[in-house]
Amino acid sequence: MNALFSLVSALIAVVALVVVSWFGVEAIGLDSVFGVIIPYIALAIFVIGVVYRIVDWARVPVPFRIPTTCGQGKSLPWIKADNLDCPYNTWGVIGRMFLEVFLFRSLFRNSKAELREGPRVTYASAKWLWLFGILFHYSFLIIIVRHLRLFMEPIPSFVQTITSVDGFFQIMVPTFFITDILFLAAVTLLFLRRVTLPQLRYISLPADYFALFLILGIGISGVLMRNFFKVDLLGVKSLAMGLFTLHPVAPPGIHPIFYVHLFLVSVLIAYFPFSKLMHAGGVFLSPTRNMANVNRSERYVNPWNYPVKVHTYEEYEDDFREKMKEVGIPVDKE
C-alpha cells in the first residue's frame, strides 16, 4: 500500500461522493433523498454506532492499573508529587483528562529527533501538530455550535454571541467567519503535514486521507454555498428546522451545493463510529491516562484473575533439601 495509492483512492472516493450528491439533486431531483432520508439514516447510524462502540469498549475489562506516569508519583510526604502528570487521586485524574481533552497536553510535549554529525541526536521543539490540532478541533467545535442557529428558533443567545464574535472581522460581505478560515487552514495544514513528512506519508492509510478530504470537502462546500453560491438560507433553515422537529420537507429550489455539503456531513457522521474518528470517545477510556497512580496504596481487582501453576516452596525445598542443609540454610522439613 503506497502513499500515492492511499491518497488517490481516498480522493476518488470523496470526489465520487460530491458528484453523486450534486447530480442526484441537479439531474434526478432526489432532493428529499439527500435532504431528508440520508441525513436521518446517517444520524441514526451515528447515534447508535457511537453508543454501541462506547458500550462495547466499556464492557471490556481493565485487568490491571497501568497509568503512564509522566511526573513524580506520590510517595514520601516531603517529596512534591505531580498530581496532573501522575495523578494520585480522582481530582488528579480529572485534571489530567481535562488537560488531555481540552489542551492536548501530550501532543504539546512533541519534539522532533534529528540526527547530526558526531553522531548525536538533538530534539527540536515541534508544536505544529499540536497547533494545527487545536485550531482544527476548536474551530470545528465552534462551527458546530454556530450551526445550531439553523435548527433553533429563537436562536439561543450563546449561539448568537459566538456567531457575532466569530464574524467580528467583516472581511467580506456577507460575514466571513474567522473559524471558517482557521478550519480550512488547519485541515489543509494537517493534510500537507501528512504528505510532506516522509515518516507520516509512509504510515498513512486511505482512511487517513479519506477523513481529511471529507472534512475539507465539507468545509469548502460550506464556504462556497455561503459566499459564492448564495444559497437560499431561509429554505435551508426550514429544512433544518423540519429535520429537527421531525416534520421534514425539502423545499424546492435549494442549490445543489447545499446538498453536497449535507451529504458529505451525513457520510462523515455515518462513517464516524466505524473509524479512527472514534478517538474522540476513546480517549476518555484510555487506561494509561484515566487511572490514578495509586497502584501500591489501593487494591485493584482483575475480574478474570485465575489461578496459575506455580513452583511452590515445598517443591523447591524437595529439589535442594540436602544441599541446603549442608550449607546451613534452614529448611521446613527435616
> Where on the chain is the footprint of ligand HEM (CB under 6 A)?
100-101, 104, 107, 133, 137, 190, 208, 211-212, 215, 277, 279-280, 283
Q: Is 301 left (phi over 0), alpha (psi -120 to 50) or beta?
A: beta
* Closer Cβ to another protein, 160 or 286, answer by number: 286
Smallest distance from the beta carbon of 177 to another protein, in angstroms? 26
User: Does 131 contact another protein by CB under 8 A?
Assistant: no
Smallest distance from the beta carbon of 323 to another protein, in angstroms? 4
User: Does 12 contact another protein by CB under 8 A?
Assistant: no
Rounded CA-CA distance 245/247 in Å is 6
Read off the C-alpha cell for 63. 485487568
Read off the C-alpha cell for 82. 505531580
Q: How many CB atoms lie within 10 A of CB 16?
A: 10
Rounded CA-CA distance 236/294 in Å is 54
215 binds, among ligand HEM, another protein, none (CB under 5 to 8 A by kind): ligand HEM
Half-sphere exposure of 333 (CA within 13 A, CB side): 10
Look-up: residue for cell 517443591?
315
Which member of 3, 145, 223, 224 binds another protein (CB under 8 A)? 3
85 binds, among another protein, ligand HEM, none (CB under 5 to 8 A by kind): another protein
Rounded CA-CA distance 275/285 in Å is 16
Half-sphere exposure of 223 (CA within 13 A, CB side): 16
146 binds, among another protein, ligand HEM, none (CB under 5 to 8 A by kind): none
Smallest distance from the beta carbon of 149 to another protein, in angstroms? 30
* Closer Cβ to ligand HEM, 251 or 284, answer by number: 284
Which member of 24, 39, 133, 256 binds another protein (CB under 8 A)? 133
